[in-house]
Amino acid sequence: MSDAIEVKSVTRVFGGNGKGPAKALDDVSLSVKEGELFGLLGPNGAGKTTLIKILATLLLPSSGQVKVLGYDVEKEVDKIRPRINMVSGGDVGGYGLLTVRENLWMFSQFYGIPTKEANERIDHLLKLFALDDKSNAKVRTISTGQKQKMNVIRGFVTEPDVIYLDEPTLGLDVNASFAIRTYLRKWVKEQKGKTMLLTTHYMVEADELCDRVAIIDKGKILACDTPINLKRMLRRSSTFDVETTIFPEIESMGRLAGVEGFQVKQLGDKVVTRYVVEQESVIADVISAIQSKGGKLTSLSKTEPTLEDVFIHLVGRGLE
């Protein structure tokens, strides 16, 4: 199977608003195979959107080489653009005065799809996303979730060979997110040879959908593998959820020897802290340290590693 996306040593520098140049991508290399659903996981400002914009022919890399479907994003845009599409969460596109159907039709025209064919695809997708009852509603009158569904349909109506989804479920409720995730899974499964690159904040989404995941932070790829293999990275390590009362200098716990990853969540007057430790014995030191700082242990459990733990392990902090 050949590569749908090849990124070689790509760096992208922005002006930096007077604070000196800012590196959004720093020597990034990765490849995505045809037919693969590839996830890009990273916190805000990690460089995910910058990479997607480069792949979508909207931005040039400062250095390095990027190929999509075998074509160079800088010199062969005309060969790439008819075969790609992009959906960004939060951005809807189109015009509020047009109906949902008209907006989708308008974008289909920019890809040269005959009206009859475009309408058939639009009808099919509207039904799949349970948006058919809103097809004749003006875009400015529909809800945020419905707008985002329309946005996703816009991306798929052109039947691209490669689609980039930048946080497609951002800010959506459970039902709308579920509908979109279900469709994405179905699309990659049924449309053989079609490639999807998905960026997301949601670890579960990446774990559930992606064939492979790259973890990116501060413009660098920290790891890239299947979710199973990434979780295997933590086999040597152990993950514990420790519930305690609130105690001072809790953040300093992350700096204890043997603690590889650390994430704190406050729940009422309790604190649940996830520790990724080198060896199980380290947790004894952690408990001693908690007690010496005046914290009271209320529960302790060992957990199976998740993608989130991998992220904490690699980045040293959680996403939130």
Residue 81 lies near other proteins (rule: CB under 8 A)? yes
Specify the DSSP class assigned to residue 313.
H
Q: Is 179 exposed, middle or buried (0-12, 13-18, 19+ CB in 10 A)?
A: buried
Check: CB of residue 183 under 8 Å from CB of residue 277: no
Binder among 51, 59, 153, 196 for other proteins (CB under 8 A): 59
Helix (H, G, I), strand (E, B) or coil at 59: coil
> What are the phi and psi torsion angles at 236 (to 5°)?
-70, -30
What DSSP designation does 2 have? -
Choice from 25, 28, 113, 131 touching other proteins (CB under 8 A): 113
Task: Work out whether 20 is an interface residue with other proteins (CB under 8 A).
Answer: no
Q: Which H or E run contains 299?
A: strand 297-303
Beta carbon nearer to other proteins, 86 or 176: 86
- Helices of type H across 193-306: 203-209, 227-232, 282-292
* Shortest reach from residue 91's CB to other proteins, in Å: 4
The nearer residue to other proteins, 17 or 292, going by C-beta atoms, is: 17
When the beta carbons of 139 and 203 are compared against other proteins, the nearer one is 139
Site membership for other proteins, residue 127 (CB under 8 A): no
Residue span binding other proteins (CB under 8 A) among the ranges 48-56, 168-176, 248-256, 274-282: 48-56
Our finding on whether 146 is near other proteins (CB under 8 A) is: no
Question: By CB under 8 A, is residue 270 in contact with other proteins?
Answer: no
Of 21, 95, 173, 182, which one interacts with other proteins (CB under 8 A)?
Answer: 95
Nearer to other proteins, 42 or 94 (CB): 94
Cβ of residue 184: shortest distance to other proteins, in angstroms?
19
50 or 263: whose CB is closer to other proteins? 50
- Cβ atoms < 10 Å from Cβ of 22: 13
Planar angle of CA 273, 279, 282, nearest 5 degrees: 55
* Residue (78 or 251) nearer to other proteins, CB: 78
Site of tokens 């060969």: 79
With contact defined as beta carbons under 8 Å apart, do 168 and 180 qualify? yes
Site membership for other proteins, residue 18 (CB under 8 A): no
Q: Which CB sits closer to other proteins, 16 or 294?
A: 16
Dist CA 138 CA 119 (whole Å): 17
Residues in contact with other proteins, counted by CB under 8 A, come to a total of 40
Contact between 241 and 273 under an 8 Å Cβ cutoff? The reply is yes
| Interface positions with other proteins (CB under 8 A) | 12, 14-15, 49, 53, 56-60, 78, 81-82, 84-86, 88, 91-98, 102, 105-114, 138, 140-141, 154
